[in-house]
A and B are shown apart, each in its own frame.
Chain A
């Protein structure tokens, strides 16, 4: 069974930085694309970024390009999201998810809340 556990959320000031982590188990992490999806309070789901199994292919939604960096460490079965220049509109629960090659998200973490506020 896919298990994903996010950490690293919290309160951060506008313009600040935060690094999210996602620990994976129950599947072959190194053979799976991975993704981050976020959900602002009371709002719908928004895809943020994808990363290929070996990290050689990465995609971002335009609103985070140049500010967010997705990465992975297959030796540690871990996924990361480095966020800089944070804005109030980045406030959301951030979910990591395992991504099938065909693009559907088949396993989800419980999410970690990032609040950008002064």
Chain B
């Protein structure tokens, strides 16, 4: 199975900060990576797919990059709504696998 490792597990930041979350795959997954946001008690929400394509309706402050085994999610200027948990997911191989999550907290 492909292992997805996110770093950091927890990130403390302030409104207006630029933050980056990293996701590493245990083997190459080309660009078959998605990013999701999950607020407490809510369902996940798709942000980015194919590593860098912004889902319709998602603010442009979110961006994704990478290919192969290393990927990043960047939020250019944190807004209050952005404090949530973020997950990466590979969909190149079965079983699909998620990273363990990165909790973005208010500093």
Interface residues of A (CB under 8 A from B): 35, 37, 44-47, 50, 59-62, 95, 100, 102-106, 108-111
Are B98's CB and A46's CB within 8 A? Answer: yes
The yes or no answer to B89 lying at the interface (CB within 8 A) is yes
Query: Once bound together, how far apart are the Cα atoms of A35 and B98, in whole Å?
Result: 14
Are A104's CB and B95's CB within 8 A? Answer: no
Query: In the complex, what residues of A have CB within 8 A of residue B94's CB?
Result: 50, 59
The yes or no answer to B49 lying at the interface (CB within 8 A) is yes
For this complex, 28 residue pairs linking A to B, each with C-beta atoms less than 8 Å apart, are A37-B44, A45-B36, A45-B44, A45-B87, A45-B98, A47-B89, A47-B95, A47-B97, A47-B98, A59-B94, A61-B95, A62-B95, A95-B43, A95-B44, A102-B50, A104-B46, A104-B49, A104-B50, A104-B89, A104-B91, A105-B36, A105-B44, A105-B89, A106-B46, A106-B49, A108-B44, A108-B45, A110-B43
Which bucket holds chain B's interface residue count? Answer: 20 to 34
Query: Once bound together, how far apart are the Cα atoms of A102 and B96, in whole Å?
Result: 12
Which residue in A47, A110, A111 is a CB contact (below 8 Å) of B96?
A47
Interface residues of B (CB under 8 A from A): 32, 34, 36, 38, 42-46, 49-50, 55, 87, 89, 91-92, 94-101
Residue of chain B at shortest CB distance from A47: B96
Given A44-B87, A95-B43, A108-B43, CB of A102 within 8 Å of CB of B49: yes
Query: Once bound together, how far apart are the Cα atoms of A60 and B96, in whole Å?
Result: 9
Which residue in B34, B45, B95, B100 is a CB contact (below 8 Å) of A44?
B100
